[in-house]
Amino acid sequence: MKINENYLRLEESYLFASIAHKLAAWKEANPRREVIRLGIGDVTLPLVPAVTEAMHKAVDEMGRQETFHGYGPEQGYSFLREAVCGYYAARGTIIGEDEIFVSDGAKSDLGNILDVLSLQNTVLIPDPVYPVYVDTNVMAGRDIRYLSANRENGFLPLPDQAPRADIIYLCSPNNPTGAAYSREALRRWVAYAQEHGALILYDAAYEAFVCEEALARSIYEIDGARECAIEFCSLSKTAGFTGTRCGYTVVPKSLSFGGHGLHALWLRRQTTKFNGVPYIVQRGAQAVFSPEGQRQTRANLDYYRGNAALLAGALQARGVWYTGGKNSPYIWMKCPDGMSSWEFFDYLLERAGIVGTPGSGFGPGGEGYFRLTAFGDRGRTEKAAGLLKEIL
Ligand SMILES: *Cc1c(COP(=O)(O)O)cnc(C)c1O
């Protein structure tokens, strides 16, 4: 018996452990000072009433003989897939119900999709990046090439700067940088993928934060994307489902490589290795897409947007360069005075009691940058904005 040695090649991430360690030491030295956490990548507002009501009802159904549900369809219940189709259609994007695969979140599918793609493919990953894309490919043993996201390209690299690769990861609005691609920029990526026979894995976990008209909510807003892209969506950040677990992945039937449709392979993979998302959770997810659920979740998104605007306002007032904040819950700022990411972490904690996330934790390209999140509560975010104006 031999282990998968690729796991030994994974780089240990000390990011969140180091943050916790530094914070604990600081608290011990400053027992009376308040900590403001702007580092969390998790939502804080509870599920909206439309969702919890639907889930309560589903729980009761599960407890009655006539309405009990056992195994459901691996792809997800039709009621939820129809609701997702309706959500796309309302924005003018037509997706077939059977092209939607309900999942327990985007992270699982982003990793699992690699099952149906050859190990011989090279992978293109932006730097800095959400670490899941890198680690899942290291685990599989694929060759990774990096694409520099930087201040010059607004942290939105384009294909003319890219090394050749077969699989391309794009995340927009981006975690960690908050930057979001315009339709025009995505058109260039789709054209590039078509020209080179590459596949785009498009992470749209933050699509609901997009408010500017020129920015895409889905890669399928671009002609030709149905022939070269898979889209990963999640209710985690858009509807507070980080602990409830539900997402959906769109695999168009028109996606074909070497004469083989990816849809059929993915369906086969899912029906073999996945037994679906709980009925109760899918009823909750369906309620997100109801008119009431949409109204209520929009109010939560507006709350986070308000937080982001406060933080962005403080940076603007001090002339600090940043991306994000408008179409994303993340703000990605340049550390002042040439500080490194960790130097600024220490400075911010010491001077203001604010905890953020060092950009270098998302890849070498993040060095010298810092991520702030809008997922905190309003009062503390207001206080943080005031402190930032004082110390920057
Ligand atoms: C949070 C997040 C996800 C969503 O993950 P889930 O498994 O659906 O909770 C996906 N991609 C990115 C970039 C994220 O930040």
CA distances in angstroms from 128 to 54, 109, 122, 212, 237, listed in the order given:
39, 21, 18, 24, 20
Query: Which atom of ligand 1 lies at the shortest distance from residue 106's CA?
Result: 8
Going from the Cα of 106 to the center of ligand 1, the distance in angstroms, rounded, reads 5
169 is in an annotated binding site: no
Range list of H helices, the chain: 15-29, 49-62, 78-89, 106-112, 131-140, 183-196, 236-239, 262-273, 279-288, 291-317, 341-352, 378-391
Contact residues of ligand 1, CB 6 A cut-off: 105-107, 130, 171, 175, 203, 205, 234, 236-237, 242, 247
Domains and CATH numbers, the chain: 5-47+292-391 (3.90.1150.10), 50-289 (3.40.640.10)
Going from the Cα of 53 to the center of ligand 1, the distance in angstroms, rounded, reads 25
- Render pLDDT for 97-131 as a digit per residue (tens, 0 to 9): 999 999 999 999 999 999 999 999 999 999 999 99
Query: Which atom of ligand 1 lies at the shortest distance from residue 246's CA?
Result: 8
Mean pLDDT of the chain: 97
Within 10 angstroms of residue 103's Cβ, the number of other Cβ atoms is: 25
Task: Place 60 in a pLDDT band, splitting at 50, 70 and 90.
Answer: very high
300 is in an annotated binding site: no
Whether the model clears a pTM of 0.95, i.e. scores above it, the answer is yes
Going from the Cα of 172 to the center of ligand 1, the distance in angstroms, rounded, reads 12
- Render pLDDT for 246-286 as a digit per residue (tens, 0 to 9): 999 999 999 999 999 999 999 999 999 999 999 999 999 99
Within 10 angstroms of residue 32's Cβ, the number of other Cβ atoms is: 5
Query: Which residue out of 15, 203, 233 has the highest number of ligand 1 atoms within 8 Å of its CB and is therefore the one to mutate?
Result: 203
- Render pLDDT for 317-365 as a digit per residue (tens, 0 to 9): 999 999 999 999 999 999 999 999 999 999 999 999 999 999 999 999 9
Residue 140 pLDDT exceeds 90: yes
pLDDT of residue 17: 92
